[in-house]
Amino acid sequence: MRGAPQRPLVALVTGASRGIGGATAKVLRLRGIHVIGTSRDGPDLARAFESYQAPGGFTALEWDHSNWTETTSFVENALTHVDGVDILINNAGSGRSAALQDLRDEDWLLALHSHVSAAMALCRRLVPAMCERGWGRVVNVGSIVALRGMERRAAYGTAKGALLALTRMLAVEYAPRNVTVNAVAPGPTRTTLMESNWNDPVRREQFERRTAMGRWAHPEEIASAIDFLASDGASYITGQTICVDGGWSAM
């Protein structure tokens, strides 16, 4: 079994200013990992990173993940700050909740581009170097919605489902080079993306009833699973989707 390189590791976390991405950036930095974080709001991301009391270094970069065609230029900019990326966390994404008949073409394309195309483009650009070094970790942030379905989530759920499929394809492709590719599928989590559901008592209770634990997750609980999959402790796990959903998938 080949372990992580004996040097400071570098992780790229998309959507790292808050929520699951922010919690993941923090826990990785607590392990002494240098984190390159992305956000549409660069100053907000920089403020968040500076507030963490963690030993690992950071680089805050502004990048609109829905504009995946600019991935190469973005990565070139990111790599000017570090020697390479060892861990890739594809977390960023966006989308509009709507019934299918009300879904606009641009809503559909935004969901696919921000959740799937951006992750694909980053993997295509960064994973070959991981293969050359003989070690790497990719963790994609999916959703329990991709596995169980939910009303008004056609674009989001389909995009997340495609991301989980991409996870399996790349896991098989890169396994011989000691690069693992896994995903987590969070249940209801208190993030900005879910704020409207949390603030609605009826919707909040509906989500709680769907979980065996009867509660929402904190972003740190999802980040802990991501951290594990990005570590040497998960060296024989690849192509898997780990449901971190409070028992939603068990009911």
Give the C-alpha separation, 80 to 216, whole Å.
Answer: 39
C-alpha closest to that of 11 among 118, 130, 121, 94: 130
C-alpha closest to that of 43 among 57, 61, 29, 28: 61
Q: Looking at 52, 156, 174, 236, which residue is catalytic?
A: 156
Active-site residue 156, yes or no? yes
Q: How far is CA 178 from CA 7, 126, 163, 172, in A?
A: 17, 14, 21, 11
C-alpha closest to that of 150 among 201, 194, 97, 109: 97
Residue 79: other Cβ atoms inside 10 A? 17
Which residue spans within 63-107 are E strands per DSSP?
A: 87-90
Residue 101: other Cβ atoms inside 10 A? 6
What tokens were used for 219? 């972003």
Amino acid, single-letter form, for residue 76: E
Any idea which residues carry the catalytic annotation? 156
